[in-house]
Amino acid sequence: MGATSLSDRVQRLEDESNVLATLYQYAHALDYGPEVEFLDCFLDDGVWERVRVSSAEAPKVFAGREDLTRFFHDPARGRAPEVYFKHLLVAPQIKIQGDEAQVDSYFVRLQEHPDGPYVFAFGRYRDVLRRCPDGRWRIQHRRAETEDTHRKQIPR
């Protein structure tokens, strides 16, 4: 590895921190809102895609603001305070090249249930983010590779 200047190293740390801030904002906004904070995580033509790794089920894809807004308000997911869940991002590996970042991380979704909280799903996020003119890093493409899920019915 070649020598890098102090300013290059500081820039890299700032970029990594700002990439993580976007990914954490996504989780908080998806769990509690508001919608505007969720949408701000994505480029205007950003894509959210879910693939069930061990299933022949077709991927779910939401592309652009209108689709991402529908995803955010999907009644099948529920929303706090009707149902509580937590999207956890674990062990992110960030690779930055100029104004593009690729991040692989694990995710776990915890969900409430009258019997006690449980792991609803887990898998891996494969993200591509771009640095925007305002300096923010936003998601260009989020691929949620769901490795397993367990849906428990909540009596209401």
109 lies in some domain: yes
Tell me which residue has tokens 């061990």: 54
Q: Is residue 1 part of a domain?
A: no
pLDDT in tens, 14-46: 999 999 999 999 999 999 989 999 999 999 999
Q: Is residue 156 part of a domain?
A: no
Q: Give a yes or no: residue 155 inside a domain.
A: no
Q: Is residue 154 part of a domain?
A: no
Judge whether 105 lies within some domain.
Answer: yes
Indicate whether 97 belongs to any domain. yes
CATH number, residue 70: 3.10.450.50
- pLDDT digits 0-9 by tens, 51-66: 998 888 899 999 999 9
C-alpha separations of 92 from 71, 87, 112, 154 in Å: 24, 14, 25, 32
Number of domains in the chain: 1
| Domain ranges, residue 96 | 6-149
Decide if 108 is inside a domain.
Answer: yes
Q: What pLDDT score was predicted for residue 16?
A: 96
**pLDDT digits over 130-147, tens only?**
999 999 999 999 999 999
Q: In whole angstroms, what is the distance from residue 76 CA to residue 102 CA?
A: 29
pTM (2 d.p.): 0.90
